[in-house]
A and B are shown apart, each in its own frame.
Chain A
Amino acid sequence: MILAQVIVSGLLLGAVYSLFSSGLTLIWGMMNVVNFAHGDFVMLAMYVAFFAWTQGHWGPAISVPLAAVTLALLGLAVYFGLIRAVMRGPMLAQILSTFGLALLLRYSAFWAFSANFVTLPDTLVGGTLEIGGLRLQASRVLAGVVALALALGMHLMLTRTMIGARMLAVAEDRAAAMLVGIRPDPMQALAWGLGAASTGIAGALIALFYYIAPTVGESLTLIAFVVVCLGGFGSVPGALIAGLLVGVVESVSAYWFGPVYQDAVVYALFLLVLWVRPQGLLGTV
């Protein structure tokens, strides 16, 4: 029974991984840019949720949309101020731009919030739920369900709406999309905004049950990388499935090998995927 609990717990956190990783793969697919600061966006969102509580006693009903909007605005600022200028240039500029941003955000957070970690109170979304004989933290269940719903929503938006079709067109063939009258710039800005919003929502949800510290971004960025590669370049449904998988692998590894090694297993899995199946589950390379 404990193993089942571990797996479900992993699926719930994995759903949150799916959410913010979907944002990353959307950006990557559309603009061929990898956001090295993606995990640090999530970290900032966690702090937004934290301050929503300490300053206004607001719970997730407020902090989640607040974080989504805040990060979306940050995302747009980064797109217009930085990404647009580097995305057509040399790889060095592209990679260093978001890498530098990551450092800037992470160490600014260090400086502003100190290295100590904080947490939101357990009572915020409190208690444990009993579902099918398993005892699960209510906050995790909430986070997992909301994240999964939104990640699915993103997939549906991309595949079923007009604007989603436009975004996918730009992702597939920018020149061809321009020929049929789709302007890539607003679509790309939208992708960045959505990608950032996904980190905002994910961060506010994770903050409900995870520790909040400036260093969190480092490992979350790596997790996002593993998920998008395992899911397949640019594939949102791929990121969805891969996120859940990574969540389970992480959870089971912590259970079998101890929490110290859980990250190591995920990173090792990443390297294995690159060797064995670089196109991931649902992608083309």
Chain B
Amino acid sequence: MSSAPRLDRHRVPLRAFAIILLVLVAIAWPALVGDAFYQRVGALVVLAAISASAWNLIGGYAGQVSVGHAIFFGAGAYASLVVYTQLGWPPVAGAPLGILVSLALAIVIGTPTFRLRGHYFSMATIAAAELIRLLVANWPLVGAAVGLMGPAAPRSVADLTFRDPLAYYYIFLAVLALLLALTAAMERSRMGYYLRAINGGDRAASSLGVPVLRYKLYALMLSAAFTSIAGSLYAVMVGFADPDSVLGILISVKIVIVAALGGAGTLFGPLLGALILVPLEEWTNAAFGGSGTGVTYVVYGAIILLIARFEPGGLLDLVGKLTRRRHAA
């Protein structure tokens, strides 16, 4: 009897069908909706899914809870706009710089804390994010509190300044597809199992030969790199970044809630979370205007609390439990 996970005979075609349907809808989405507003929402959903799926690598699979992921998002966003304002390059060329900075930050934050109990890492992420935000907010080179802007009018295609969201949507979708494919491959590989073992217990994992510190760092670095890419993509689309919009704690909160609501540690959980929360936020902003934003974070806080208390595995885990119960019945 093979030890490869034997999927229930009913569920294999269903799962494959669902994924194919998802891919088709994703590709056809802009054509399906036609309206630029909804296309833009689509782009934002995909962007949120990228950030949350990146967080998922370290926070979901490995169980090391970062509540300061804005630091990597902001690094990517600022790197893109800095190379434009300082060197005149197309913003997207700044993405590799953002990745390098993020990798360095990941090493600085992870190396001392991954040897210690999990709380230290979480505390360090929040402190590091705040530290960077304060420094950036006072550094004229990166625009201090005012922030940086991207090209107002496109100088060439490389600037990626498109008037309608269609192109952004497909670029973001390609990046998300790449990230999810990488995650799926990792899930089935030794790294995936080692990360989940680390989540299950450092001490036990170590006794089985898992180099715990090294793998935690790998996961964090991969996570940081993709979150940085998301930040760069954001800067390219929005054309603006300031300390609050890309380095603030609310960015970290959004990343975490999107991943956790859908299902941390699952492949499609973050995407599901994005599909629910991004349109919801856009809708409440449109319906309630500015006064809505304060309440939004009260609601986010409540949602995070409820997920933690009752369903840490998120919606996908809940669905999984319900279907298992139905099959057993």
How many Å lie between the Cα of A148 and that of B108 in the bound state? 35
CB-CB under 8 A for A229 and B120, given A92-B65, A106-B301: yes
Instruction: Report the nearest A residue to B122, measured CB to CB.
Output: A95
Q: Which residues does chain B contribute within 8 Å of A226, judged by CB atoms?
A: 127
Instruction: Report the nearest A residue to B118, measured CB to CB.
Output: A91
Stretch at the interface among A124-132, A164-172, A183-191, A262-270: A262-270
- Over the window 93-115 of chain A, the binary record of Cβ atoms lying under 8 Å from chain B Cβ atoms (1 yes, 0 no) is 11111011111111110110000
Q: Which residues does chain B contribute within 8 Å of A86, judged by CB atoms?
A: 308-309
* A92→B138 contact, CB < 8 A: no
* B117→A96 contact, CB < 8 A: no
Q: Which of A28, A95, A105, A225 has the most CB of B within 10 A?
A: A95
CB-CB under 8 A for A271 and B108, given A34-B119, A91-B118: yes
* B126→A222 contact, CB < 8 A: yes
- Over the window 235-277 of chain A, the binary record of Cβ atoms lying under 8 Å from chain B Cβ atoms (1 yes, 0 no) is 0000000000000000000000000110110011011001100
* B147 contacts partner chain A, Cβ-Cβ < 8 Å: no
* A285 contacts partner chain B, Cβ-Cβ < 8 Å: yes
Q: Which residues does chain A contribute within 8 Å of B297, judged by CB atoms?
A: 103, 106-107, 110
* B174 contacts partner chain A, Cβ-Cβ < 8 Å: no
CB-CB under 8 A for A260 and B309, given A100-B304, A225-B123, A271-B127: no
Residue count of chain A within 8 Å CB distance of chain B: 47
How many Å lie between the Cα of A218 and that of B244 in the bound state? 14
Q: Which residues does chain B contribute within 8 Å of A56, judged by CB atoms?
A: none
* A85 contacts partner chain B, Cβ-Cβ < 8 Å: yes
* B128→A271 contact, CB < 8 A: yes
How many Å lie between the Cα of A34 and that of B124 in the bound state? 13
* B307→A96 contact, CB < 8 A: yes
How many Å lie between the Cα of A101 and that of B51 in the bound state? 23
* B112 contacts partner chain A, Cβ-Cβ < 8 Å: yes
Q: Which residues does chain A contribute within 8 Å of B103, judged by CB atoms?
A: none
A42 to chain B, nearest CB (A): 16
- Over the window 149-188 of chain B, the binary record of Cβ atoms lying under 8 Å from chain A Cβ atoms (1 yes, 0 no) is 0000000000000000000000000000000000000000
* B36 contacts partner chain A, Cβ-Cβ < 8 Å: no
CB-CB under 8 A for A111 and B308, given A34-B122, A34-B123, A218-B249: no
* A96→B253 contact, CB < 8 A: no
How many Å lie between the Cα of A6 and that of B303 in the bound state? 43
B198 to chain A, nearest CB (A): 11
Q: Which residues does chain B contribute within 8 Å of A260, judged by CB atoms?
A: 134, 138
* A267→B130 contact, CB < 8 A: yes
* A264→B294 contact, CB < 8 A: no
How many Å lie between the Cα of A105 and that of B302 in the bound state? 9
Pick from B123, B131, B199, B303: contact of A268, CB below 8 A: B131
* A267→B312 contact, CB < 8 A: no
How many Å lie between the Cα of A105 and that of B295 in the bound state? 11
User: Interface extent on B, as a size class?
Assistant: 35 or more
How many Å lie between the Cα of A13 and that of B118 in the bound state? 29
Q: Which residues does chain B contribute within 8 Å of A5, judged by CB atoms?
A: none
Instruction: Report the nearest B residue to A272, measured CB to CB.
Output: B112
Task: Determine the main DSSP class of A at the interface with B.
Answer: helix
* B300 contacts partner chain A, Cβ-Cβ < 8 Å: yes
Instruction: Report the nearest A residue to B307, measured CB to CB.
Output: A96
Q: Which residues does chain B contribute within 8 Å of A261, judged by CB atoms?
A: 134, 138
* A278→B65 contact, CB < 8 A: no
How many Å lie between the Cα of A38 and that of B262 in the bound state? 27
* B124→A274 contact, CB < 8 A: yes
Q: Which residues does chain B contribute within 8 Å of A218, judged by CB atoms?
A: 130, 249
* B116→A91 contact, CB < 8 A: no
* A270→B124 contact, CB < 8 A: yes
Instruction: Report the nearest B residue to A108, measured CB to CB.
Output: B298
A75 to chain B, nearest CB (A): 16
A55 to chain B, nearest CB (A): 24
B114 to chain A, nearest CB (A): 11
Q: Which residues does chain A contribute within 8 Å of B111, judged by CB atoms?
A: 275
Pick from B108, B295, B303, B307: contact of A111, CB below 8 A: B295
B62 to chain A, nearest CB (A): 10
Instruction: Report the nearest B residue to A95, measured CB to CB.
Output: B65
Instruction: Report the nearest B residue to A225, measured CB to CB.
Output: B123
The 6 residue pairs across chains A and B that have the minimum distance between CB atoms: A103-B301, A100-B304, A100-B305, A104-B301, A97-B308, A96-B308
19 A-B pairs within 8 Å (CB atoms) are namely: A34-B119, A34-B123, A90-B63, A91-B64, A92-B260, A92-B264, A100-B304, A100-B306, A103-B301, A107-B294, A108-B301, A218-B249, A229-B120, A264-B131, A267-B128, A270-B123, A271-B109, A274-B112, A274-B116
